[in-house]
Amino acid sequence: MSLEPLHPRHVPELWAAAQNAESSWTYLSYGPFASQEALAKEVMDMAAQQDRIAWAARPVTTGEVSGWLSLIDIQPKNAAVEVGNIWFSPRMQRTRAATESIFLLLKLVADDLGYRRLVWKCNALNEPSRRAAERLGFIYEGRHRMHMVTKGRQRDTDWYSIVGNEWPLCRDALLGWLDSANFGTDGTALRGLAEIRAGLTGA
């Protein structure tokens, strides 16, 4: 998995990845885009923002940029950061590459930068995102009701986090799941993250 600082040069690949993927934008504040130029404007805006860092996700299996993800609400003083603003095209969703891309950001902020509070937020109606947070080891903290308006609709937001000494277990479980020995010849994982996590705790 390769993460590259998001740049306008990624737009043609992202535009190709976004074709016939209208439903993948449902819970984001932007998209779907009517043209490559409209997508380019959004990418340029994200790449230029100073209060967040965005990466393009390039799975090694395809070599094609298939989405993006960001670090947002970065609080060095509080050692807190959110992994968010995630868009993966349908061809990348629910893949090993999708999990690895998120793991790489979590490892960066927790192990390399020493952040102690890792946050995941999502629309309360976004069941796939809620399942992803729980699968990765995030703990549900609660719901901010009527938190914001997105695309003209009132949104409740669910909050999740990994804090302090919870990270090493999440990291080790993710490393175990991502290990090539955990995948069959057809690319299917032999053990799920929950099973690996339970094995590490002796549960």
Given this model, what pLDDT does residue 48 score?
Answer: 93
Given this model, what pLDDT does residue 203 score?
Answer: 64
Domain ranges in the chain are 2-201
Given this model, what pLDDT does residue 133 score?
Answer: 98
Given this model, what pLDDT does residue 30 score?
Answer: 96
Which residues lie below 8 Å from residue 81, measured CB to CB, with a gap of 6+?
A: 71, 72, 73, 74, 75, 109, 115, 117, 118, 119
CATH of domain 2-201: 3.40.630.30
Strand ranges of the sheet holding 117-123, from the earlier edge strand across to the other edge: 2-5, 53-58, 67-75, 80-88, 117-123, 153-163, 139-150
* pLDDT digit string (tens) for the chain, length 203 residues: 999 999 999 999 999 999 999 999 999 999 999 999 999 999 999 999 989 999 999 999 999 999 999 999 999 999 999 999 999 999 999 999 999 999 999 999 999 999 999 999 999 999 999 999 999 999 999 999 999 999 999 999 999 999 999 999 999 999 999 999 999 999 999 999 999 999 999 86
